[in-house]
A and B are shown apart, each in its own frame.
Chain A
Amino acid sequence: MTTLTHEKTVAPGKSIIERLNVVTALVLGIVSAIVVWRLSLAFLPEDADTAKIFTREDKITLLSMCAWFVGFMTGIGALVGPFRWLMGKDLSHAENMFLAGKDMGPKRYFRYTTDHKVVGIQYLFITILIFFLGGGLAMLIRTNLGHAEGGWLHPQAYNDIVGTHGILMIVGTIIMVTGPFGNFIMPIMIGARDMAFPRLNALSFWLIVAAAIPLLWGQFLGGITTGWSAYNPLASQAPLGMDGYIMYICIFAISTMVAGSNITTTVVKMRAKGMTWNRTPIFIYGTVASVALALPAFPVFFLSQVLSAFDRALGTSFYNTAAGGSGWLYENLFWLMGHPEVYVILIPSIAALMEMAPVFTRRPLFSFNVAVMGIAGISGLSVLVWAHHMYISGWAPLLNAPFMLTTELISIPTGMLFLVLIGTLWRGRLWMTMPLMSILALLWNFMIGGVTGIYLSDVPADAFLHGSMYVTAHFHYTLMGAGLTGALASLVYWFPKMTGRMFDKTLSWIAFWLVQIGFNVAFIGMFMVGLAGQPRRVATYAPTFSTANLVTTIGAYTIMIGMLVLLHGVISSARNGVKAPKNPWQAKTLEWTVDYPIPLENFDVLPTVTSDAYGYGKAKS
Chain B
Amino acid sequence: MTELMEPQTPQWWKKADVKKTFILWIICTAVIGYVGVEFHVRNIVAPASENMSSIISLIRIFTWAAAPVAGLVSAMSITVLTSGRHYGDNPPPEADHEIRNSPKTTAVWIVVSGLLCLFALVGGLVVLQHDNEAILDTKAVQVNVVAQQWVWNFDYPNGARSEDLYLPVNKPVVFHITSKDVKHSFWIVQMGIKMDANPGYTTETAVTPDKIGVFDIRCAELCGLLHAYMQTKVHVVSQADYDAWLTAQAAMEAGA
Contacts of A418 in B (CB 8 A): 73
Contacts of A89 in B (CB 8 A): none
Given A392-B185, A419-B109, A531-B44, are A430 and B86 also a contact pair (CB < 8 Å)?
Answer: yes
Question: What 1/0 mask marks residues of chain A from 438 to 449 whose CB sits below 8 Å from any chain B CB?
Answer: 001001100100
* Least CB separation from A586: chain B residue: B91
- Whether B117 lies near A411 (C-beta < 8 A) is yes
Distance in Å from the Cβ of A146 to the closest Cβ of chain B? 15
Contacts of A225 in B (CB 8 A): 224-225
- Whether B183 lies near A531 (C-beta < 8 A) is no
- Whether B120 lies near A362 (C-beta < 8 A) is no
Contacts of B92 in A (CB 8 A): 362, 429-431
* Least CB separation from B97: chain A residue: A617
Q: Is B31 positioned at the interface, with any CB of A under 8 Å from its CB?
A: no
- Whether B58 lies near A159 (C-beta < 8 A) is no
How far apart sit A586 and B193, CA to CA, in the bound complex (Å)? 56
Q: Which of A162-191 contact B (CB under 8 A)?
A: 162
Given A363-B95, A401-B128, are A393 and B196 also a contact pair (CB < 8 Å)?
Answer: yes
Q: What band does the interface of chain B fall in when counting residues whose beta carbon is under 8 Å from A?
A: 35 or more
Question: What 1/0 mask marks residues of chain B from 15 to 41 whose CB sits below 8 Å from any chain A CB?
Answer: 001000000000000000000100110
- Whether B44 lies near A617 (C-beta < 8 A) is no
Q: Is B11 positioned at the interface, with any CB of A under 8 Å from its CB?
A: no
Q: Which of A388-413 contact B (CB under 8 A)?
A: 392-394, 397, 400-401, 404-405, 408-409, 411-412
Contacts of A107 in B (CB 8 A): none
How far apart sit A162 and B55, CA to CA, in the bound complex (Å)? 29
Question: What 1/0 mask marks residues of chain B from 72 to 96 whose CB sits below 8 Å from any chain A CB?
Answer: 0110110111001111011111111
Choose among B80, B114, B227 the residue that contacts A426 (Cβ–Cβ < 8 A): B80
How far apart sit A233 and B205, CA to CA, in the bound complex (Å)? 22
Q: Is A461 positioned at the interface, with any CB of B under 8 Å from its CB?
A: yes
- Whether B124 lies near A404 (C-beta < 8 A) is yes
Q: Is B63 positioned at the interface, with any CB of A under 8 Å from its CB?
A: yes
- Whether A321 lies near B222 (C-beta < 8 A) is no
Q: Is A464 positioned at the interface, with any CB of B under 8 Å from its CB?
A: yes
- Whether B113 lies near A415 (C-beta < 8 A) is yes
Distance in Å from the Cβ of B130 to the closest Cβ of chain A? 8
Choose among B66, B81, B91 the residue that contacts A451 (Cβ–Cβ < 8 A): B66
How far apart sit A136 and B215, CA to CA, in the bound complex (Å)? 36
Question: What 1/0 mask marks residues of chain B from 110 to 125 whose CB sits below 8 Å from any chain A CB?
Answer: 1001101100110111
- Whether A428 lies near B109 (C-beta < 8 A) is no
Q: Which of B48-67 contact A (CB under 8 A)?
A: 51-52, 54-55, 58-59, 62-63, 66
How far apart sit A405 and B44, CA to CA, in the bound complex (Å)? 26
Distance in Å from the Cβ of A580 to the closest Cβ of chain B? 11
Contacts of B13 in A (CB 8 A): none
- Whether B86 lies near A431 (C-beta < 8 A) is yes
- Whether A427 lies near B222 (C-beta < 8 A) is no
Contacts of A162 in B (CB 8 A): 222
Q: Is B3 positioned at the interface, with any CB of A under 8 Å from its CB?
A: no
B-binding segment of A19-27, A261-269, A365-373: A365-373
Q: Is A152 positioned at the interface, with any CB of B under 8 Å from its CB?
A: no
Contacts of A505 in B (CB 8 A): 89
Q: Is B243 positioned at the interface, with any CB of A under 8 Å from its CB?
A: no
Q: Is B214 positioned at the interface, with any CB of A under 8 Å from its CB?
A: no
Contacts of A359 in B (CB 8 A): 91
- Whether B98 lies near A617 (C-beta < 8 A) is yes
How far apart sit A436 and B218, CA to CA, in the bound complex (Å)? 44
- Whether B95 lies near A362 (C-beta < 8 A) is yes
Contacts of B58 in A (CB 8 A): 455, 458, 460-461
Choose among A156, A422, A537, A539 the residue that contacts B76 (Cβ–Cβ < 8 A): A422
Distance in Å from the Cβ of A154 to the closest Cβ of chain B? 9
* Least CB separation from A440: chain B residue: B77
Q: Is A93 positioned at the interface, with any CB of B under 8 Å from its CB?
A: no
Distance in Å from the Cβ of A302 to the closest Cβ of chain B? 22
Q: Is B194 positioned at the interface, with any CB of A under 8 Å from its CB?
A: yes
- Whether A463 lies near B51 (C-beta < 8 A) is yes
- Whether A464 lies near B228 (C-beta < 8 A) is no
Q: Is B101 positioned at the interface, with any CB of A under 8 Å from its CB?
A: yes
Question: What 1/0 mask marks residues of chain A from 450 to 488 whose CB sits below 8 Å from any chain B CB?
Answer: 010011011111011011100000000000000000000
Contacts of B124 in A (CB 8 A): 404, 408, 457-461
Contacts of B39 in A (CB 8 A): 527-528
Q: Is A425 positioned at the interface, with any CB of B under 8 Å from its CB?
A: yes
Q: Is A540 positioned at the interface, with any CB of B under 8 Å from its CB?
A: yes
- Whether B80 lies near A463 (C-beta < 8 A) is no
- Whether A401 lies near B125 (C-beta < 8 A) is yes
Choose among B63, B93, B117, B182 the residue that contacts A234 (Cβ–Cβ < 8 A): B182
- Whether B183 lies near A408 (C-beta < 8 A) is no
Of A156, A237, A416, A419, most buried by chain B (CB within 10 Å of CB) is A419
- Whether A322 lies near B187 (C-beta < 8 A) is no
- Whether A464 lies near B224 (C-beta < 8 A) is no
Given A233-B181, A538-B227, are A616 and B94 also a contact pair (CB < 8 Å)?
Answer: yes
Question: What 1/0 mask marks residues of chain A from 216 to 242 whose CB sits below 8 Å from any chain B CB?
Answer: 000000000111000101100100000
- Whether A367 lies near B117 (C-beta < 8 A) is no
- Whether B227 lies near A532 (C-beta < 8 A) is no
Q: Is B138 positioned at the interface, with any CB of A under 8 Å from its CB?
A: no
* Least CB separation from B121: chain A residue: A408
Cβ-closest 5 pairs across A and B:
A321-B200, A394-B203, A467-B220, A538-B228, A363-B95
Given contacts A233-B199, A368-B101, 15 further A-B contacts (CB under 8 A): A234-B183, A326-B200, A328-B198, A363-B99, A404-B121, A425-B77, A432-B87, A443-B73, A458-B123, A461-B55, A468-B220, A535-B227, A537-B222, A540-B229, A616-B98
In the assembled complex, 12 residue pairs joining A and B whose CB atoms fall closer than 8 Å, in A order, are A394-B196, A404-B125, A411-B116, A423-B102, A458-B120, A460-B127, A463-B195, A531-B40, A535-B228, A540-B229, A584-B89, A619-B98
Q: Which residues of B contact A (CB under 8 A)?
A: 17, 36, 39-40, 43-45, 51-52, 54-55, 58-59, 62-63, 66, 69-70, 73-74, 76-77, 79-81, 84-87, 89-102, 105-106, 109-110, 113-114, 116-117, 120-121, 123-125, 127-128, 131-132, 177, 181-183, 185, 187, 189-190, 192-196, 198-201, 203-205, 216, 218-229
Q: Which residues of A contact B (CB under 8 A)?
A: 155-156, 159, 162, 225-227, 231, 233-234, 237, 321-322, 326-328, 359, 361-370, 392-394, 397, 400-401, 404-405, 408-409, 411-412, 415-416, 418-419, 422-423, 425-432, 440, 443-444, 447, 451, 454-455, 457-461, 463-464, 466-468, 505, 527-528, 531-533, 535-541, 548, 584-586, 614-620
